[in-house]
A and B are shown apart, each in its own frame.
Chain A
């Protein structure tokens, strides 16, 4: 086995067996499972809390109940309140979440709510009861107004990418899940890279390694091992997503845990391929920078201050990718899909949720591969000199001077 192979296998084994990796992977998988269950659970919670009691003139509450049934379960109606409602009153009426008192004032409707959780009903009441308000003002039956305010909207994807809107929405969900995975994998592994390099430097192992290996080879083997490790981690997480996703879908579709009846999640092979491409590019770019930063650390306490600024572009890329989910072809988003470090997030999002011209894709990948090579060269130089610089944290000027000195 050549030296790169020796370092790679040792690094890979060390990382895979490290407590941090095992804990991170397990917690990540549990978090994914929790996130998969969370929307459905929250949906259940939300529906369980939307039980209300309507109070007011029977004609008014009857008309309102028809309009509100879309969002609420009506536990009871009453012509009037004898006293201000209490929590006990809500509990006594099917654990309702609120009491809504409807009152006609001239041609307008006034709604007073007494609720367990203020702020959660305002918008739904305003929307649902708008036809009633208009009906009171114009004399038109609210049911007719409600029927006439339904507007049929059809969306057609001119790119021909998606057959209907639901596919586009599903693609956004998939893109978001992958962005989160990409973000987590880069953050967790970048942190482990900087810690490992800093350990080698502070414990003076670096001196032994540099005496035996070319620093560029050493860095290459380390990045390779970190990339392989993060692939293992991603495989676990994606596997968890698929299994849990199907189980959850089946569970909430049927009310049982019958995974077999779950709908397809709709992740396609090209999406996974693009994810791998952009993950490798993005990971290498970040890993090289973090390894170089780790080589400048003289004390483990300095890791935070050295690595802190490096997280900013990654967090920025994650935020921009959220915009890209909604507006994949906005001019600023298109520009960011070429910028190194940001592009792996943004271009991947655009590829999944939109239709990207081939030239843009080729240009983005080319720029980012070149950037990865340039960063590797730069990172390798910093790593080479940084690993043998001891004392205080060097200033940028000292680093440049040391790089010039070989």
Chain B
């Protein structure tokens, strides 16, 4: 399915040739970043955003170092990392705001130029709105900047205003709105032109749970409509819920990239949780040669870490043989665990 989608737009022979030439060029160069799971460079890059060995320095400070990843068309992609990791610089390079010192950024096999960028949408980390411009006018203006003609700009603005519950503010200056509502206006500005690729830098910051849920719903709609989304966020549960692929960067380099399944598959251990915490069950677990007891949690549960390939079924049989087992669970690592380990901040 994925390969079909990747090849589908190759209707033009020249375009296809260019895309595949780019593909061949990159295929000869192994990715230098540590990639968990198979490198997802597809046979042909058509229908995706590809960053290849992209680097950018500011003076003596290397903000981004040889970053490579691919975002297939229609995917929702989580770009994660601690503050100062290079996420925003990477996003700015994708958008052409900053020019990479080296490396390439391509969209559908071609370098990202101004015409391509006008088909992208961007929500910067720090919000940018004209304070005196009214909400409806502001949204329509950013639509026109991206080529949406009048009167379609206003029609779409009205639709977004309704979708984001901004109706009562439509004719008020943006400067008078709360931070959360300004954030929603900003989302509408970024998405009005139905971008092929929408990049959202910390879209949930400053939003209360209700507004966060509204935004999440809007992003799901965009995702369903086939928009490729790149998000950075520190709200892991939202990212984990929304994104299909992830890239965790720290110190300007890619630490891990892949789907959550791929990232979990590469995780070296699993946690086994057993209830009740009886001495019989504990003695079985203590007798397991590769099991390591985890610090006590505030629940009546036995928690042990075992290797990812451990014979869990055999362990369960041994536990059942020793006593009553009311709960037995092999816990998959959460995105937060993977993130913490990837950036070297695990406990």
Contact = CB atoms under 8 A, between A and B. Distances in A.
Given A203-B129, A406-B99, A208 B117 contact: no
Given A211-B122, A388-B98, A406-B99, A203 B144 contact: no
Contacts of B117: 211-212
B261 interface: no
Contact of A6 (B126, B127, B145): B145
10 contacts: A1-B149, A3-B118, A6-B141, A6-B145, A7-B145, A14-B133, A207-B122, A208-B189, A211-B96, A214-B114
A401 B130 CA distance: 30
B289 interface: no
B96, B97, B129: which has the most chain A beta carbons within 10 Å? Answer: B97
A182 B220 CA distance: 55
B38 interface: no
B97 A388 contact: yes
A365 B328 CA distance: 87
Nearest to B56: A405
A311 B226 CA distance: 53
B95 A6 contact: no
B190 to A, nearest CB: 8
Chain A interface, DSSP helix/strand/loop, else mixed: helix
Contact of B146 (A7, A18, A204, A212): A212
Given A211-B95, A212-B145, A214-B114, 19 more contacts: A1-B144, A3-B118, A7-B145, A10-B144, A14-B130, A14-B132, A199-B130, A199-B131, A200-B128, A203-B127, A203-B131, A204-B124, A205-B129, A207-B124, A207-B126, A208-B122, A208-B142, A211-B120, A388-B97
Interface of A: 1, 3, 6-7, 10, 14, 18, 199-200, 203-214, 388, 401, 405-406
A405 B57 CA distance: 9
B59 interface: yes
Interface residues of B, number: 31
Contacts of A199: 130-131
A404 to B, nearest CB: 11
B134 to A, nearest CB: 11
Nearest to B130: A205
Nearest to B147: A3
Contacts of B131: 199, 203
A14 to B, nearest CB: 7
A388 B91 CA distance: 14
Contact of A205 (B58, B97, B128, B144): B128
Nearest to B193: A212
A219 to B, nearest CB: 15
Contacts of A210: 97
A49 to B, nearest CB: 50
A401 B57 CA distance: 12
Contacts of A203: 127-131
A401 B59 contact: yes
A208 B133 contact: no
Contacts of B129: 203, 205
Contacts of A6: 141, 144-145
A203, A209, A406: which has the most chain B beta carbons within 10 Å? Answer: A203
